[in-house]
Amino acid sequence: MLSEIKAIKAELLEISIFASTDSILDSNDQLLSSLRSPGVNLLPSSSQTYTLDFTNPEGVAPGAYYLITDIDGDDAITESNENNNLASARVSATGTDVVLDWNATLLNAVATDRTAPPLAARNMAMVHAGIYATVSLIS
């Protein structure tokens, strides 16, 4: 992400991880963990691994979420490309199962699409009928 600049010698590099219902970082997303690493010294095309520990905060319900990593969110490092410092991956939160994941995906789709309540209710009923039929076949 930061390899496009010739070399990085930063006093402080900020890395943050957020939980989001979509792959877009916005003010509604829950900050899970962040760190400020002193003494970063990267050469072009080199990399460094950082570990951020977090537990599910109380505001994050079980289900599927996107983890979004934001590097240099406070813009302490000047780069030739400031628009490639985010990455996201969809994960299942601790304590979830496939039904909760499907339900979370459904709720995320409704929230992202801003589906009107009558249509959302119909869509959710259809998805849950499908979940019930699928789980019935498995068990």
Binding site for Ca ion (CB under 5 A): 20, 22, 24, 26, 29, 72, 75, 77, 79, 81-82, 84-85
Minimal distance, residue 72 CB to Ca ion, in Å: 4
DSSP state of 93: P
Query: Residue 21 half-sphere exposure, CB side, CA atoms within 13 Å?
Result: 19
Residue nearest to Ca ion (CB): 20
Please give the C-alpha separations between residue 65 and each of 39, 41, 91, in angstroms, as whole numbers. Answer: 32, 32, 5
Q: Which residues contact 126 (CB under 8 A, 6 or more apart)?
A: none
Q: Which is nearer to Ca ion, 84 or 134 (CB)?
A: 84
Minimal distance, residue 132 CB to Ca ion, in Å: 29
Q: Which is nearer to Ca ion, 28 or 134 (CB)?
A: 28
Minimal distance, residue 69 CB to Ca ion, in Å: 12
